[in-house]
Amino acid sequence: MRDIIANRGRNEDPSLLAYWKSSGVAGRGGVIGGQEFGTWIDWLAAEG
């Protein structure tokens, strides 16, 4: 991730990476499963 930030050239602060754990997608290879979509659909419906 540090390489990605450095190569983007956006003057971003890489020190925050110490607190970053993951992209939040639990599936292998970052594949979003049906249950993850369900979570967002429910939230979007509730929030309008």
Cα distances (angstroms) measured from residue 11 to each of 15, 16, 35, 47: 12, 13, 36, 34
Per-residue pLDDT tens for 11-41? Answer: 999 998 999 887 777 778 778 888 888 888 8
Q: How sure is the predictor about 7, in pLDDT bands with cuts at 50, 70 and 90? A: very high
pTM of structure? 0.43
Higher pLDDT pick, 36 / 45: 45
Euclidean distance between CA atoms 47 and 18, whole angstroms: 32
Coil, helix or strand for 42?
A: helix
